[in-house]
């Protein structure tokens, strides 16, 4: 890898590791200091490597510099030392030296513990995702702003408020007690689920960023599975869902960057290795007596990896949607159910169910109604597609919906 690409790639993979280890060491109240030290480490690389050359082991070099900067910061700033948590301060000897452990195991432990610290109900879900993207995924503020379709100032304020709340509530960076794991795990999984969806359903035009978000969500979920205390059926189910959905990533956009709907996707572009991984984790999830929404959504996603348009497929999908809505109602899940209902009971029955939802601020609602009305009432189909066009948020959406209107031919309103 060439130097111009190396440092950005290392920033993406190593910034989060360094930050998590330092936050675990220094406490959540010093999260900004940890980020500053990690950022300064990469700034040193940017200043040094173009002149002195890339070191033989760039990652080891970064870790060494990060350790030295952290130790220098602690030694130099006695005021800072007085502010760290007592359990951290007690580790200092007379020379204010402290061991900074950037071993593979401690990095994994620190990131997992940081994940539990971030996923606390004391901060709102969007702040949890923002902090996860920044601290655990190594994304820059501009990238996070793109993911949320907002500006850098908004993201900076959101993260500042979240960090301030974590300090005020004295949130501990550590693994929760055994008795609390399941309750806390639900919040962690909800955050990872939202993080994945932020990538998979993002309105951002940056397709690389979208894929990165999905892969980061997979990486963090895999960390939970790698730990015996959090290797639970619902975690395996969520990972299965992520693999099934990501397997069709390349087929969801054409060469022009336009969305390709499921029925039109080229199965040859699906990643069958990811599908196999999803199937394996879904099998691992089939233990115990707990049925989570992740089990049901993963099972629905599994059936979507079978391209054949058979009655068995859609009857199974409809049954799973019925279970999902009974377990945890969601208007979007209800909307998606109507497509399966159309496949099983016909468009007229699906239209009746869809119109009950009244999701008049959702473009997908109008797209679905347009599809269902195409063979029944082309004039109504056009009306719905045009409403969807008004609500479209990206150019890709506008192109796809525009083609659907064109496909209706010379329908006169």
pLDDT of residue 408 exceeding 90, the answer is: no
Report d(CA 168, CA 131) in Å as an integer: 16
Phi, psi of 253 (to 5 degrees): -135, 145
pLDDT of residue 126 exceeding 80, the answer is: yes
Report d(CA 257, CA 208) in Å as an integer: 11
pLDDT of residue 263: 82
Tell me if 267 sits within 8 A of 247, measured CB to CB: no
The pair of structure tokens assigned to 157 is 């304020």
What digits encode the pLDDT tens for the residues 294-305?
999 999 999 999
Tell me if 154 sits within 8 A of 147, measured CB to CB: no
Residues sharing a CB contact under 8 Å with residue 380, sequence separation 6 or more, in sequence order: 369, 373
pLDDT of residue 75: 76
Residues sharing a CB contact under 8 Å with residue 223, sequence separation 6 or more, in sequence order: 108, 111, 112, 115
pTM: 0.84
Nearest to 338 by CA among 305, 308, 362: 362
* Residue, of 395 and 136, whose pLDDT is higher: 136
Confidence of residue 140 (pLDDT cuts 50, 70, 90): confident
- CA of 154: how far to CAs of 130, 157, 192, in Å? 11, 5, 22
Report d(CA 286, CA 234) in Å as an integer: 9
Average pLDDT of the segment spanning 359-374: 94
Which stretches within 227-310 are classed as H helix?
233-246, 272-285, 293-303
Share of the chain above pLDDT 90, in %: 58
What digits encode the pLDDT tens for the residues 146-169?
777 789 999 999 999 999 999 999
pLDDT of residue 397: 80
- CA of 145: how far to CAs of 10, 103, 159, 211, 250, in Å? 21, 32, 11, 16, 24
pLDDT of residue 253: 80
Confidence of residue 306 (pLDDT cuts 50, 70, 90): very high
Of 33-47, 187-201, 220-234, least confident by mean pLDDT is: 187-201
Query: How many other CB atoms are there within 10 angstroms of residue 65's CB atom?
Result: 20
Q: What is the mean pLDDT of the chain?
A: 87
pLDDT of residue 1: 47
Average pLDDT of the segment spanning 263-271: 89
Average pLDDT of the segment spanning 265-280: 94
Average pLDDT of the segment spanning 136-145: 83
* Residue, of 394 and 3, whose pLDDT is higher: 394
pLDDT of residue 59: 95
Report d(CA 314, CA 255) in Å as an integer: 30
Nearest to 12 by CA among 192, 104, 134: 134
Residues sharing a CB contact under 8 Å with residue 384, sequence separation 6 or more, in sequence order: 366, 367, 369, 370, 373
Tell me if 219 sits within 8 A of 233, measured CB to CB: no
Tell me if 394 sits within 8 A of 203, measured CB to CB: yes
Report d(CA 263, CA 368) in Å as an integer: 13
pLDDT of residue 283: 97
Strand (E) or helix (H) holding 355: helix 347-357
What digits encode the pLDDT tens for the residues 307-364?
888 999 999 999 999 999 999 999 999 999 999 999 999 999 999 999 999 999 999 9
Confidence of residue 399 (pLDDT cuts 50, 70, 90): confident
pLDDT of residue 412: 37
Phi, psi of 259 (to 5 degrees): -65, 135
* Residue, of 270 and 177, whose pLDDT is higher: 270
The pair of structure tokens assigned to 201 is 């359903």
Nearest to 306 by CA among 248, 372, 355, 242: 248
pLDDT of residue 240: 98
What digits encode the pLDDT tens for the residues 50-90?
989 999 999 999 999 999 999 888 777 655 555 555 555 55
pLDDT of residue 203: 61
pLDDT of residue 411: 43
pLDDT of residue 232 exceeding 50, the answer is: yes
pLDDT of residue 210: 74
pLDDT of residue 413 exceeding 50, the answer is: no
Confidence of residue 139 (pLDDT cuts 50, 70, 90): confident
Place of tokens 């999803």: 278
Nearest to 256 by CA among 207, 215, 199: 207
pLDDT of residue 104 exceeding 60, the answer is: yes
């Amino acid at each position: 890898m060439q130097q111009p690409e190396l440092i950005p790639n290392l920033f993406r993979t190593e910034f989060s590791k360094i930050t998590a280890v330092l936050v675990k060491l220094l406490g959540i109240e010093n999260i900004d200091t940890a980020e500053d030290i990690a950022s300064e480490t990469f700034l040193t690389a940017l200043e040094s490597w173009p002149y002195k050359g890339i070191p033989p082991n760039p990652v080891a070099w970064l870790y060494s510099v990060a350790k030295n900067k952290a130790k220098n910061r602690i030694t130099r700033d006695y005021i800072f030392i007085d502010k760290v948590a007592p359990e951290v301060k007690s580790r200092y000897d007379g020379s204010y030296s402290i061991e900074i452990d950037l071993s593979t195991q401690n990095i994994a432990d620190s990131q997992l513990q940081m994940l539990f610290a971030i996923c606390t109900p004391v901060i709102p879900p969007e702040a949890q995702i923002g902090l996860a993207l920044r601290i655990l995924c190594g994304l820059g503020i501009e990238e996070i702003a793109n993911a949320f379709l907002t500006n850098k100032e908004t993201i900076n304020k959101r993260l500042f408020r979240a960090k301030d709340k974590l300090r005020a509530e004295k949130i501990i960076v550590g693994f929760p007690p055994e008795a609390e794991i399941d309750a806390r795990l639900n919040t962690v999984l909800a955050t990872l689920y939202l993080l994945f969806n932020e990538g998979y359903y993002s309105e951002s035009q940056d397709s690389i960023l979208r894929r990165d978000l999905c892969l980061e969500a997979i990486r963090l979920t895999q960390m939970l599975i790698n730990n015996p205390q959090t290797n639970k059926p619902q975690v395996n189910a969520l990972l299965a869902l992520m693999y099934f959905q990501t397997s069709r990533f390349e087929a969801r956009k054409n060469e022009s960057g336009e969305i390709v709907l499921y029925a039109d996707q080229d199965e040859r572009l699906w990643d069958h290795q990811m599908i196999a991984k999803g199937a394996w984790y879904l099998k691992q999830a089939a233990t115990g007596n707990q049925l989570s929404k992740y089990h049901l959504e993963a099972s629905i996603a599994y059936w979507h990896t079978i391209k054949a348009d058979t009655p068995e497929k859609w009857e199974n999908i409809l049954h799973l949607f019925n279970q999902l809505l009974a377990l945890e109602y969601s208007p979007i899940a209800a909307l998606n159910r109507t497509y399966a209902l159309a496949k099983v009971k016909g468009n007229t029955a699906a239209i009746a169910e869809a119109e009950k939802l009244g999701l008049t601020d959702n473009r997908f609602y109008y797209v679905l109604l347009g599809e269902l009305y195409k063979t029944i009432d082309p004039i109504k189909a056009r009306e719905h597609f045009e409403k969807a066009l008004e609500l479209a948020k990206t150019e890709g959406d506008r192109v796809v919906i525009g083609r659907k209107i064109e496909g209706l031919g010379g329908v006169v309103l």
